[in-house]
Structure 1
Amino acid sequence: MRTNVKLFTILGVFLIVVATVYGFWVRWTEWAGIPALYAVAGLSLMTAVFLWLTDRKFGQGPDDDEHGEIAQYAGTYGSFAPWSWWPLGLGVACAGLVLGLALGWWIFLVGVGLGIYFLVGWVFEYSKGDHAH
């Protein structure tokens, strides 16, 4: 896991440098590629932080052991909803956001509203209904 942390950290820093150089190269006038490069850098660094925190919490895993066996991966990996439609709705809302950027602001605003609705529904999925804790 430590190798993955290093890999994603290096990738994130590299993309920040590339985005900054690209921004100066186009004189900060191109508003599609610059934010996209910074977003991918942020996602890489978020992945690195997640893996680092997971490594600190669980320590050495079966994938870090050179002589590890597949059977060592057995066990519970987390708590997942048995059936959830909220991620599908959130995906449709994100598609509406991107479509709105291309076609019109009113579609973008509808996507924002749907995104907020589906995100709140997904976050509070276990707060009410059949699967309430």
Structure 2
Amino acid sequence: MKIQGHMFGWLAAFILVAAIVYGYWSKEPVGTTALFLAFGLAAMIGYYLVFTARRVDTGAQDNKEAEVADDAGELGFFSPHSWQPLSLAIGGALAFLGVVLDWWLLYFSIPVILVGIYGWVFEYYRGADQNQ
């Protein structure tokens, strides 16, 4: 994970230089703003990856002498089926339609989004007193 963090750091530095040069030469605010936002996103991802790499053990991707088989095995738990992303997608689509058509549609979309987020966060929560 550490190498990916450094790659995003170098990408953020490149985008920052490109944003400064583009903003100086073009005097165009929209593209300059987009480049600065892209710099911020790349910097945040790079910082997260480097910060997380310090807290977890070294993976096979950080070892220069690792084999492909060294990274085999379980990667984590992924839900085999979940209806919550569909609920969030419907709520998000309604929210964007509310911005386009009229703001009253947000009154219907926000509860759908909140139900989807609540369901997704607590989908596998069994309670503090249960062992399963």
When normalised by structure 1's length, the TM-score is 0.65
**What is the percentage of aligned positions where both structures have the same residue?**
31
Q: Aligned runs of 1:1-133 on 2, under 5 Å?
A: 1-12=1-12, 18=19, 38=37, 40-41=38-39, 43-128=41-126, 133=132
- Alignment: residue pair count: 126
Cα deviation digits, residues 51-91 of structure 1 (max 9, x gap): 12331123432112233211111222222223111122112
Structure 2: state its 5+ residue gaps.
none
Structure (1 or 2) with the larger CA radius of gyration: 2
Structure 1: state its 5+ residue gaps.
none
Q: Classify 1:104/1:85 alpha carbon distance in 2 versus 1 (closer, same or farther; 3 Å).
A: same
Q: Classify 1:114/1:42 alpha carbon distance in 2 versus 1 (closer, same or farther; 3 Å).
A: farther
RMSD: 3.7
Would the aligned equivalents of 2:15 and 2:35 in 1 still touch at CA under 8 Å? no
Moved over 3 A (4+): 9-19, 33-38, 40-46
Q: Classify 1:63/1:90 alpha carbon distance in 2 versus 1 (closer, same or farther; 3 Å).
A: same
